[in-house]
Structure 1
Amino acid sequence: MSTTGTGTGTFTLRPVDPVEDAEFLHGWVTHPKAAFWMMQEARPEDVERAYMEIAADEHHHALLGLYDGVPAFLMEKYDPAHRELVGLYEPEPGDVGMHFLVAQTDTPVHGFTRAVITAVMRHLFEDPATTRVVVEPDVRNTAVHALNAAVGFVPEREIQKPEKTALLSFCTREQFQKAVVA
């Protein structure tokens, strides 16, 4: 478990429990605001199955993000040499792939999503073996591109994945530290 203070609350991370968490995760991943998560048509059992597969995968991990103890976001980390980006770029030692999804809310808090991505990046860089985080969001997802830039990601190029045209972007530990201090 990892804990990160936000100034107003605390984020913690724990592994997703595919059975216990599937019901609310289903609501998150099928919400219209989660269109880029590409699970809009998923049934609850599809979500449970997807996260059971991730739980059994040594190269892919799903973590539930809690804000002051309440589920608030989903984070996935993966080894890009074995998942998601195989054959699409040349992975370097220390590369870690990442996805994140903030739960929809009727009472949005200004700056919350940026605090989430900052907490996610801090968690990833807590591992001294992580030297660079890799992301591949849909090229149309301009909101996440802005968030990525805010924490130090630098786009490299567009790549074609089976499900989307993605913007391959990287963030080193130094780029992250510089971005969050500024």
Structure 2
Amino acid sequence: MNSTQQSNQNIENQICFSKKIESIGFFELRKFNLTQDLPIIYQWVQKEYAIYWGMMGLQYNEVKTIYQKLVENTHIYIGLFQGKIAFLLECYDPQEDIIKEHYEVKKGDIGMHILVAPPDKKINGFTWQIFKFILDFIFSNSTINRVVVEPDAKNEKIHILNEKAGFVFQKFIDLPHKKARLEFCTRQQYYHAIMNSN
């Protein structure tokens, strides 16, 4: 590894957001590093629980090619819990995505995808804490007004989390790889939902 590569890796490993959640632990967020993180993410997407990520059965090099393209126009992050990799976050501009064909994109919109690591042990409410941490991070950017998601219509678990966080269902949409639920959550809707959640 040359000095430029080392410098780039150091930048990618810098923590860009962190938060301690009482009774749960310490969460951190850093930029995705293709070389060091992809082998771990590849293991996740081959497991049954990650079927809605749409990469099960793909070869490693196929997934690598996908992420090499994604990093060009998507902000990808690795989430850490107590210093260990716990989730993947992808944030994208809806104006640069096929989703723009299904609704009127507004200034301040951002799209997101989340993949949580397979659990080592059961922590009650862990995924919900990750979800809140991510939305806290996204809305810490004052230019972001609304989060747009398009989960697979069959993914019941994420629908429950979305609703709990304040997302509002808009309509079903047909994307090339799935039938999805288009849902929005504004900053105000999120904060209102959090005030009323457990």
* Superposed pair shares fold, TM > 0.5: yes
Aligned match for 1:30, one of 39, 46, 68: 46
Where relative contact order (Cα < 8 A, 6+ residues apart) is larger, the structure is: 1
Using a 3 Å threshold, how does the CA distance of structure 1 residues 39 and 157 change in structure 2: closer, same or farther? same
SS at match of 1:104: coil
- Residue 18 of structure 1 aligns with which residue? 34
Using a 3 Å threshold, how does the CA distance of structure 1 residues 84 and 109 change in structure 2: closer, same or farther? farther
Aligned match for 1:114, one of 105, 119, 128: 128
Corresponding residue pairs, total: 180
Q: Which runs of 5+ in 1 are unaligned?
A: none
Aligned match for 1:170, one of 184, 191, 194: 184
The normalised TM-score by structure 2 is 0.88
Does residue 62 (structure 1) correspond to residue 76 (structure 2)? The answer is yes
- Residue 132 of structure 1 aligns with which residue? 146
Deviations 1:39-87 (A, max 9, x none): 0012222222222222222xx1111111111000000000011114021
Does residue 80 (structure 1) correspond to residue 73 (structure 2)? The answer is no
Aligned match for 1:4, one of 16, 19, 23: 19
Distance 2:93 2:127 in 1: 24
Distance 2:140 2:51 in 1: 30
Q: Which runs of 5+ in 2 are unaligned?
A: 1-15
Using a 3 Å threshold, how does the CA distance of structure 1 residues 84 and 2 change in structure 2: closer, same or farther? farther
Alignment check: 8 A CA contact 1:26 1:44 kept: yes
Distance 1:46 1:178 in 2: 41
Distance 2:121 2:187 in 1: 32
SS at match of 2:94: coil
| Two-structure CA RMSD over aligned residues (Å) | 1.1
The normalised TM-score by structure 1 is 0.95
| Higher helix fraction (1 or 2) | 2
Distance 1:18 1:45 in 2: 12
